[in-house]
Amino acid sequence: MNNNIVTIGSQFPEFKKKAVVSIEKGKEFQDVSNETFKGQWAVMFWWPKDFTFVCPTEIAEFNKNYSNFTDRDTVLLGASTDSEFVHAAWRRDHSDLRDLKFPMIADTSKSLAAALNILTDDDEKIAYRATFIIDPEGIVRWININDLSVGRNVAEVLRVLDALQTDELCPCNWTKGEETLSNKLAAEVA
């Protein structure tokens, strides 16, 4: 286990990784780093392995919601410990993944997953289903980690992103457009 656990309020670790950004021959790969989202909100989500069953449902759902992230001025990034070549093969092979609008980061050294402390404790050392919301200063503002067998809820990621972007007090089950506690308290004081 990593003793320097990345948690809420931590600076997101520095990284530079290869990523699959296209299935067009000669344009498949690109470097992705902290510079990719510097000064912007970012959501980085991890899945355990390519060519599995739960993972493509999540990746496809994030892709369906891609414009919901860009409308919030948020960079969307996907990642696993598989290589960029496996990512590219999976994208070509799986119809739901061919037209992804966000990069698939290849953390083949597992260094970023280790820095985030999201690797399983078994011999395989694959990433849990982890999601990080990072603010424009590079600070981790939300972390969600699911067990390997349970897919995440993309609508909840968007709900939390909306709440964080208000920079106000948001009650339980708050959704965008509803009154925040900060506004309610200000109205009561006035």
Q: Is residue 168 part of a domain?
A: no
Q: How many structural domains compose the chain?
A: 1
Provide the 3-class DSSP secondary structure of residue 41. strand
Per-residue pLDDT tens digits for 68-80: 999 999 999 999 9
Please write the tens of the pLDDT for every residue from 146-182: 988 888 899 999 999 999 999 999 889 999 989 888 7
Helices (H) and strands (E) in the chain — how many of each? 6, 7
Q: Give the mean pLDDT of 91-118.
A: 90
pLDDT above 70 as % of the chain: 92
Q: How many whole angstroms from its chain centre is CA 106? A: 13
**Residue 184 placed within a domain:** no
Q: Which residue has the higher pLDDT, 124 or 43?
A: 43
Catalytic residue among 32, 55, 59, 97: 55
pLDDT of 97 above 70: yes
Does 50 have pLDDT greater than 90? Answer: no
Sign of CA dihedral 52, 33, 6, 140: negative
Q: How far apart are CA 116 and CA 111, in angstroms?
A: 9
What is the residue range of 27's domain? 16-153
To which H or E segment does residue 61 belong? helix 54-64
Residue 146 CA from chain centroid, whole number: 13
pLDDT at 152: 87
Q: Which one is predicted more confidently, 18 or 49?
A: 18
In b/e form, how buried is each residue of 75-97, taking b as 16+ CB within 10 angstroms?
bbbbbbbbebebbbbbbeebeeb
Predicted confidence band at 56 (pLDDT cuts at 50, 70, 90)? confident
Q: What is the mean pLDDT of residues 91-108?
A: 87
The pLDDT value given to residue 47: 92
Crossing angle of the two packed helices 54-64 and 154-166, in degrees rounded to 10: 40
Does 92 fall in a domain? yes
Q: Is residue 163 assigned to a domain?
A: no
pLDDT for 190 beyond 80: no
Residue 136 domain-assigned (yes or no)? yes
Q: Is the pLDDT of residue 189 over 60?
A: no
DSSP 74: E
Tell me, what CATH number does 29's domain have? 3.40.30.10
The answer to whether residues 147 and 128 touch, using CB atoms and an 8 Å cutoff, is yes
Q: Is 174 among the domain residues?
A: no
Q: Is residue 96 part of a domain?
A: yes
Integer Cα distance of 21 and 31 in angstroms: 9
Run of H or E residues at 56? helix 54-64
> Domain for residue 7, yes or no?
no
Whether 172 sits among the annotated catalytic residues: the reply is: no
